[in-house]
Structure 1
């Protein structure tokens, strides 16, 4: 079992957890939570595979991804019913999920020998689209559009992985380092409210 496969399963589980926490705040029932959590968990990778022409998409021929997503969602659902989890708690697992999916998406694109820029974009797409789908289904403005540095953290992580790999670093070590850098950037942005320049409304 490869490190990429393990990280991919962890990413699906983490994304399903964050989707469950978000969905429960919308007072959805168990079925609604399960559906949103699974779709959010596999959404980014599905978009990546479609764009890269990797068909059928990864979870079609390996249903363990769906099983992991449903299991993580169910456990989180029942834990949340008995233990009140702070509203902002989901930001931590969301940052971890962002990092995991980013390095996985980038690594998969690199294995297909696409251009480095396309590989980085595939990493960002894999990292952010699950959260975008989650927020849309929960009738929220996607987190990527209303929060501190998010997609930028994914882009930095993706580019770092590509750079370290091109310098000859062992791929698994480069994966872990890039993941930690992505998480660190995201958490620092949350802690000190760092964001990119925004348009100011004129009156």
Structure 2
């Protein structure tokens, strides 16, 4: 990874071609293979975790929309006590398992949609590139708010795709890098890491 050379990932040379091949093999339409690219927000969040291991060390961690597992792997490398990497795509779960093995870390892949909950008691909740469009942000932001309101430490990595709830975020770090990512992100050279404020903090800020 350009920004996270400590981590090795199985990635697609061309995610669009891979997507077409997967659909041809399956004989049906499939979701885009987000797990086959290293997205910029995920790289930034993984970099932050490795540079600030106390963020996750000894804690239980949930990484949502984990994709390739990059952020979850960084958390495991940084000494998290237990890491769960969640994604709705079965192919992502396979990629997470393979990438965890490639990096010699232990974590638990978890399939399914967890966004109606609050993070299932995880002490740290991570979301790299989970706010990639409006409908997704409308589900992820309330989830992250519920997680932080119950006491979780919640971090977001994002290259400013215009769906960030600015009033609920505290900036922590900015990273610049050449990225390996889907075509829509090909020109992105900056990604930020934020901590999510509790809803009570947001009200006080106003």
Common fold: TM-score over 0.5 = no
Q: Which of the five TM-score ranges fits, normalised by the shorter chain?
A: 0.3 to 0.5
- Bigger helix share: 1
TM-score, normalising length: structure 2? 0.33
TM-score, normalising length: structure 1? 0.34
